[in-house]
Amino acid sequence: MSLILITGSCGLVGSESVNFFHKKGFEIIGIDNNLRQKFFGKDGSTERVKKEIIRNNKNYIHKDIDIRNYIKLEKIFKNYKKNIKLIIHCAAQPSHDYAKNNSILDFQVNGQGTHNLLELTKKYCPDSPFIFMSTNKVYGDNPNKLSFFSNQKRFELKKSHKLYKGIDETFSIDECIHSFFGVSKTYADLLVQEYGKNIGLKTVCFRAGCITGPNHSGAKLHGFLSFLVKQSLVSKKYSIIGYNGKQVRDNIHSLDLVNCFWEFFKKPLKGVVFNIGGSRKSNCSIIEAIEIIENKLQRKIKKEFIKQNRVGDHIWYITNNSKFKKYYPNWKQKFNTKDIIYELINSYS
């Protein structure tokens, strides 16, 4: 049986990948030591998801390993070698706020951890595609320099603007504030590209916007829609940080994203970058997201407005998926923001 190695296997994208590829008949080696609980406390724990994965996937092998530990990782690669047919690297420290106060740990996880996995892939299974979950935060706050206008509920670009359909891969990552999280992920992103273009590994960086789905362990510092729905259901209030809640995020369902992985796995490239996200099909401001939840629940949510925005937070970010669609025309995006929010509400109810 072919093996797939998935880091962060109990997180949102990792667990979606486990379920998806298990159904395709693969054996899965999942690497996850629930470091999210250290980052975000009990709300961020992936223990519930871990139990579900083990219960529902008979060909899933769980390894409680920290990706910073090269020696323990090497034992896995050395044991399975070329039987590993795909590496999906989702493990990360994913929060701006946490990284600012813990920049060394953030870089060790996002930078060193990624470097470890690339070296081991090169050494033991160099023909295996390597999928890296990057982030749109590699562009720092450059998107905030665009010419927005503001209406009652959101910031927006004019339809005549060249980036109205979204930000593509030609957008600059330079001369901007990234946040420490953005920097560590940018390092990893560039490293993944280099192992593809310089060494010849089949690597890809998926620069995603907001990813979400029912397996998301949303917490205050990470997991926008998931945490918003949870707060709306449990405490019936939500703190909006900066921009009066008009900042626009695009939202891609984790299953739509993992279907991108499947397309890449079937026809891999070397050192390629794809912006991937909700696009014009699935995006909203925080105010609009709250409104969708209020309409669904038929009740108001108390809103607290915090004036100071997060460092590196985007005022507006919509992804242009055109490059990926050009290379992989069979990929179809299924979920929009309303679909995602309704599914989250049902999962918490």
Q: What is the per-residue pLDDT across 8-60, written as a single tens digit (0 to 9) for each?
A: 999 999 999 999 999 999 999 999 999 888 887 887 788 989 999 999 999 99
Structure tokens at 104: 């060394």
Structure tokens at 255: 């299953």
Instruction: Provide the terminal-to-terminal Cα distance of the chain, rounded to the nearest Å.
Output: 38
Assigned architecture for domain 3-348: 3-Layer(aba) Sandwich (3.40)
Q: What is the per-residue pLDDT across 169-205, written as a single tens digit (0 to 9) for each?
A: 999 999 999 999 999 999 999 999 999 999 999 999 9
Secondary structure element (H or E) that encloses residue 199, with its range = none
269 has a pLDDT exceeding 80 = yes
For residues 99 and 41, the answer to whether their CB atoms sit within 8 Å is no
* Amino acid identity for residue 337 in this structure: T
pLDDT value, residue 311: 72
320 has a pLDDT exceeding 90 = yes
Q: Mean pLDDT over residues 266-294, rounded?
A: 96
> In whole angstroms, how far apart are CA 58 and each of 15, 55, 150?
14, 7, 51
Decide: residue 263, CB within 10 A, 0-12 exposed, 13-18 middle, 19+ buried: middle
Q: CA–CA separation, 245 vs 304, rounded Å? A: 10
Question: What is this structure's pTM?
Answer: 0.93
Q: Is 190 left (phi over 0), alpha (psi -120 to 50) or beta?
A: alpha
> In whole angstroms, how far apart are CA 250 and each of 22, 108, 286?
28, 28, 11
pLDDT value, residue 42: 81
pLDDT value, residue 1: 65
Lowest mean pLDDT among 90-104, 139-153, 229-243, 270-284: 229-243
For residues 73 and 37, the answer to whether their CB atoms sit within 8 Å is no
Q: CA–CA separation, 312 vs 324, rounded Å? A: 26
Residue 279: name the closest of 200, 170, 164 by CA: 164
299 has a pLDDT exceeding 70 = yes
Q: Mean pLDDT over residues 151-173, rounded?
A: 97
Question: Band of the pLDDT at 313, cuts 50, 70, 90?
Answer: confident
pLDDT value, residue 117: 98
223 has a pLDDT exceeding 60 = no
Domain ranges of the chain: 3-348
219 has a pLDDT exceeding 60 = no
pLDDT value, residue 217: 59
pLDDT above 90: percentage of residues in the chain: 81
